Every structure is written in structure tokens, then in C-alpha cells.
Amino acid sequence: MQTVIQLTLTSLQIGAVYILFSLGLTLIFGVMRIVNFAHGHLFAVSALLVAVMLSWLAGMGIPILPAYLLAVLAGVTASAALGFIIYVFGFKYFQRDMVGSFILSIGLVLLLDGIFLEIFGGGVRAVPEILPGSVEILGASVTQQRLFLCGMAVVITAALYWALTYTKLGKALRAVSIDHEAAMLQGVPYSRLALAGFMIAAVLAALAGALIAPISIVTPVIGADYLIKGFIAVIIGGLGSIPGAILGALFVAVIETVGSFYLDPTSATITIFVLVIVVLQVRPKGLMGHG
Amino acid sequence: MADTLRLPYCAAGIAAAIGASLLVSDPYVASVVNLVSIAALIAVSLRFVMLIGELNFATAAFVGIGAYTTGSVLTIWDWPFGIAMISGGIAAAAVSVVFGYVTLRTKGPYFLLIGFAFTEAVRIIYSKSMGLGGNSGMVGIFPPIAFDPWMPTFVMSIAALLIFVLYVIEKSDFGKIFTAIRDNEDVARTVGLNILFVKVACFAIASFAAGVAGSLHAVVNNVISPGDFSFLLAAFALAYVKVGGEDNIVGPIVGAILLVVLGSYALGLGGHEHIFYGAAIVLAVLLMPEGVTGLLHKGRDFVMARGKRNAD
């Protein structure tokens, strides 16, 4: 019983990050029909800045919690700025061009990889603990930081879901992702929405990065692993579908956790891969895909 | 048929390239020539699958399968060199038939991302297989000693031969089905073509070339490791195709020559390889969407049009 609870909690922790990550990927794909491999770098910028700022601010004697909030603010701002730059000078010209945008994003991946290595160095950064201590849930022990991460992920996901369902912007984003021409005929300003969708996705990635920084080792290539898993989650769920992304992310997280526990991480990764292929045989556009 | 192939140009180009490679004696130049030949072959293989309208990121996996097959055949079983080279291509093609048959029902982003995941999964398998050297890879994959002085010529001849074969297939009637599928799959299906079969055939042919490129990579470097075959390999190949231009088969070759030569020069200056390739791709897609060859064509058309106007 204790194992089951422990595994469930771990799945939820990993799943929380995958959800934030794949929500951004699926949002960008839905609105702009592009595949953005540079998404992992928006995540990495934020995680790196949080790690650097936190050590620096803590070194100046600022208490750890305000320091963390300041660092998160800096990380999210930096990611949003980077997202804005790559949208305005790049992806803006490649909307609805899957191959072109993908190639551009691969170029950005290489370029940003190189730049991050130059700026931050290849070393591993440890981030000081924000919320020390752990709690017992039904006999399984969880550190407070991880609990905080899960809670925040749930709050952010719920907020996004609410915004997409009830606000005018959210409705317009969904309309565009179903049929952008029909949406434009209804007076939806497509190009402004594309920017809005891209920036929301960038902020989601930044928040995921800021949340993961304290409970993980931060390196300039931290985005790559999450990117692969995030994309697998989105393929399983169906590109462009929000519930699909959540479902896919949880699915990947459960298999990864259970597989790593009973077998080993390698077999878990390969199992995920085989399952993706099986899902695509039955539903070539993912579980909830329609586009 | 012979007319559309432009055989004299091809023959002259291949002969000139192989002739020039005979003159190479400097080891640094020789290594660059080897790199260029292999890069061009991989880029042409990637572009070959783009003919059916799919971006094949599994290319990197097939290059790896070719390299590891050749490595095992040479170092573990000690079989003859010729068999080792061919077996790399055959192994890659065999795996690609199965992989393609299963995945080519999906299209566009799904196929692309599956190829990407496949590359990473295969790479993990290498690094966990102790028989294949695990994370540190395989060492001591040597060509016969007699080959040593002729390595650049050998590598370039194999690459040129395969590129030529791919070119002939592309221009054949069978190759025209590829573009028909890319332009409109449903129309191609209504005239009774077996789309999945054609796609798998195209994919397998391209993977055979990628596998042989891997075999060449193994015998040129003597050492292979899982890190050599990450998705970045396919990303670099994509850079060659994009910078060179994807409209005809010369594009990827031009791209490979330009970027590999400039890249090794930049490395010599202490530059950063990733930044260099990344900037090349970003600038190429933003400033010249049709690549260098597309730019040259446009330039030629412009000059011709002006000449005509002046004559009038």
C-alpha cells in the first residue's frame, strides 16, 4: 500500500511539470500549427536564472522565500522576453508552416544551446532548499518543496483551463485552434492572438522551469529531457488538445515512475516509446486529436 | 529519360570530385573531405524522404544503426571489410521497413516527432548494451591497412555512387510517385497506387543510404559512441539541406560542403560549433528560404531577364 501511494505521489510530481510543459506545446501548436523545439529553452532560461539569482540573493542576506519570489520574477521575465524576441523575429513569419517553423526552431535550439553554454557554463548548479522539511501522507513521506510544486501546477493548470473556457481571449484562442479562417471571419484578430498564445506558452514554460529549479539539478541542457517527454505527452493526447495534453502528461509520468521502480529508467523510456506507437496505430492523431 | 538525368554533368561532377580527392595528402584536408562526403550522403538521404513530404528525424537513428552494425561485424565477428560496409546499409534498411510500415500511417508532425523519439530510444539502447560498449561506445573499427592512403577517395566514391543512385531513382517514374504523394496523397490513391508501399520503399531506400553513411562514419573515425547519433545529427543534416536548398539534389551537397568546411574553419578559430550551425540555419530560413542554390537560380534568372530586356 505504501508503495502504491509513494508511486502515485511521485507520478503526480513528475506529471505536474510535464503538464505545464505540454500545455505550452499544445497551445502553440493549436493556435499557430507550428512545432516548437525551442520551447525547452524557454524553460531552461527560467530555471537557470532562478538558480543563479537565488544563490546570489541568498548570498546578500535576503531571506530565502522573498529571494525565491524575486528570482522567479526575473526568470519568468527573461523567458517571456526571449519568447517575444523569437516570436517577433522568427516564428511570426512561419505560422501554419510546419516544416519551416520546425527547421527554424532547430536552428534556435542549436544557437541557444551554444549561447547558454557560453553564459552559464556547462556546470551543474545546486539550488538551496526553499521549503525545508517533509510531510507524511498516508504513511508516505514527501518533501514540502515537491508538494508545493504539485500544488502550484494544479493551480496554474486550473487557471489556464478556466481562462480558456470562460474568458474572451480563451474562447478566441480555442476558436482559432479549431478553424482559424472561420474565426477570422468572426472578427478574431488572428495575428494578435498568435502572439498571445505564444507568450502564454512561454510563461507556462518559465513557471515550470522556476518550479523545478529547487528540486532538481539545473544545467543549461535541462530543457532537452522535458522537451522529449512533453512532446510524447502531446502526441499521445493529440496535438492541439488541452485535455489531451494533461492526459498524455499524466500517462507518461505514471509509466515513467512505475517503470523506473519495477524495471529501470531505460526500460521505462523504451516502454513509453512503444506505447506511443501503439496509441498512434489506433488513433493516428492522438487520443483527443482532431486537427 | 537520359535527357532529364543530365548524365554528362553528373559524370563530370563525380569524376572531378573523385579526381580531386586523389590529390589529397594532408591528413587534415583528408579528414574534412571524409566529413563532407558523409555529411552530403546523410543530407541527400534526409532530402529523399522530404520528396514524399515527410521530415525524417529517424535519419540519425539509421546512421547509428549502420555504424553500430559495421562496428560489430568488424570488431566482434571479424568479417571481411566489404561485407561490413554493405551490412550497415542492409541493417538500417531492414529496421526502417518495420519502423516505416508501422509509423508511416501517421503524417506531418506526428511522423516527425515519432522519428525524433525513435532516435532517442535507439540511442538509449546503445548506451545500455554492454556488448556494444555501453556509454563509451565501440573502439578499433579499422579499415584494411592498404586502404589508408586512399580513404578520402574511397569514402567519396561510395557517397557519390549512392547519391547518384538516389538521383536516378528520384528522376525515374517511380520517383515521380513520391512527389505526387507529397502534392496530394488522396489523388495518388485514387489512381490505384499503394501509398503505404511507396512511402515505405522511399523510406527504406533513404535509410539504406543513411546506414552506409553510418558505416563510413564508423570506419573513418575508428571510434563510435551513442552520443554521435543523437537527434542533433539529423538537425545538422537538415541545416545542410536548408542552407543548400531542397529543390534539387545538388542543394544538400552544396550545403554540406559549405557548412562542414566553414564549420571546421570556425572550430579552428575556437568558435562554438552549435552557435555556428544554429545561426546558419536561422539565417538561412529567414533570409533565403530556397537556400544557396535557389538564390543562384534567382540570380541567374534576374541576369537573363535583364539581358533579354537590353537586347530588345
Query: Taking residues A236-254, what's their average pLDDT?
Result: 90
| Count, residues in chain A | 291
pLDDT of residue B1: 45
Q: Given CB atoms, is B135 within the 8 Å cutoff of chain A?
A: no
Q: What is the largest CA-CA distance in chain B?
A: 73
Which residues of chain A neighbour B117 with C-beta distances below 8 Å? 228, 231-232, 235, 273, 276
Q: Given CB atoms, is B192 within the 8 Å cutoff of chain A?
A: no
| Chain A residue with Cα closest to B242 | A103
In the predicted model, residues of chain B with pLDDT beneath 50 are: 1-2
How close, in Å, is residue B120 to chain A by CA atoms?
9
Higher-confidence residue: A55 or A163? A163
| Chain B residue with Cα closest to A118 | B272
pLDDT of residue A290: 63
Joined together, the cell numbers standing for residue B111 give 511522423
Query: Taking residues A24-40, what's their average pLDDT?
Result: 90
pLDDT of residue B2: 47
Q: Given CB atoms, is B285 within the 8 Å cutoff of chain A?
A: yes
Query: Taking residues A12-17, what's their average pLDDT?
Result: 88
Joined together, the cell numbers standing for residue B209 give 543510404
Q: What is the largest CA-CA distance in chain A?
A: 57
Cβ pair A114:B273 closer than 8 A: yes
Chain A 144-173, CB below 8 Å of chain B: which residues? none
> Are the C-beta atoms of B101 and B212 separated by less than 8 Å?
no
**How far apart are the C-alpha atoms of A212 and A210, rounded to whole Å?**
6
pTM attached to this predicted model: 0.84
> Are the C-beta atoms of A46 and A207 separated by less than 8 Å?
yes
- How much of chain A exceeds pLDDT 70, in percent? 99
Which residues of chain B neighbour A239 with C-beta distances below 8 Å? 109-110
How close, in Å, is residue B99 to chain A by CA atoms?
10
**DSSP structural state of residue B222:** S
Chain A 224-243, CB below 8 Å of chain B: which residues? 228, 231-232, 235, 239
Cβ pair A100:B289 closer than 8 A: yes
Which residues of chain A neighbour B281 with C-beta distances below 8 Å? 103-104, 106-107, 110-111
pLDDT in tens, A68-87: 899 999 999 999 999 999 99
pLDDT in tens, A116-174: 888 887 777 777 777 777 777 777 777 888 888 888 889 999 999 999 999 999 999 98
For A21, A276, B112, B125, the CA distances from A283, given in Å and listed in that order, are 23, 10, 16, 27
Domain borders along chain A are: 24-223
pLDDT of residue B312: 63
Contacts of the segment B283-288: beta carbons below 8 A, 24+ positions apart:
B284/A107, B284/B239, B284/B242, B284/B243, B285/A94, B285/A100, B285/A103, B285/A104, B285/A107, B285/B242, B286/A89, B286/A90, B286/A93, B286/A104
How close, in Å, is residue A59 to chain B by CA atoms?
32
| Candidate from A90, A111, A273 with C-beta closest to B275 | A111
What is the average pLDDT value for chain A, to the nearest integer?
87
Which residues of chain B neighbour A270 with C-beta distances below 8 Å? 121, 124-125
User: Would you tell me how many other CB atoms lie within 10 Å of the CB of residue A225?
Assistant: 13
Q: Could you tell me if residue B6 is left (phi over 0), alpha (psi between -120 and 50 degrees) or otherwise beta?
A: left
User: Would you tell me how many other CB atoms lie within 10 Å of the CB of residue B183?
Assistant: 10
Q: Cβ-count burial of A84 within 10 angstroms (0-12 exposed, 13-18 middle, 19+ buried)?
A: middle
| Chain B residue with Cα closest to A115 | B275
> Are the C-beta atoms of B211 and B69 separated by less than 8 Å?
yes
Q: Given CB atoms, is A128 within the 8 Å cutoff of chain B?
A: no
ipTM value: 0.81
> Are the C-beta atoms of A36 and A91 separated by less than 8 Å?
yes
Interface size between A and B, measured as CB pairs under 8 A = 114
- The dihedral sign for the CA sequence A57, A58, A64, A68: positive
CATH of domain B2-311: 1.10.3470
> Are the C-beta atoms of A92 and A203 separated by less than 8 Å?
no
Secondary structure class of A132 (helix, strand, coil): coil
pLDDT of residue A202: 94
pLDDT of residue A155: 93
| Candidate from B103, B281, B286 with C-beta closest to A106 | B281
For A39, A196, B171, the CA distances from A87, given in Å and listed in that order, are 12, 10, 39
Q: Given CB atoms, is A268 within the 8 Å cutoff of chain B?
A: no
Q: Given CB atoms, is B240 within the 8 Å cutoff of chain A?
A: no
**How far apart are the C-alpha atoms of A202 and A34, rounded to whole Å?**
14
pLDDT of residue A130: 76
The phi and psi torsions of A137 (rounded to 5 degrees) equal -120, 115
In 3D space, the residue among B246, B113, B48, B46 whose CA is nearest the CA of residue A98 turns out to be B113
Cβ pair B110:A114 closer than 8 A: no
Cβ pair B272:A118 closer than 8 A: yes
Side-chain half-sphere exposure of B61, counting CA atoms within 13 A: 24
How close, in Å, is residue A102 to chain B by CA atoms?
9
Q: What share of chain B is helix, strand, coil (3-state, %, to 5)?
A: 80, 0, 15
| Candidate from A111, A118, A231 with C-beta closest to B278 | A111
Which residue carries 534568372 as its cell? Answer: B301
| Candidate from B107, B112, B278 with C-beta closest to A35 | B112
> Are the C-beta atoms of B56 and B46 separated by less than 8 Å?
yes
| Candidate from A90, A280, A286 with C-beta closest to B286 | A90
Q: Given CB atoms, is A56 within the 8 Å cutoff of chain B?
A: no
Cβ within 8 Å of residue A48, ≥6 positions away: A75, A116, A120, A125, A209, A218, A220, A222
Domain borders along chain B are: 2-311
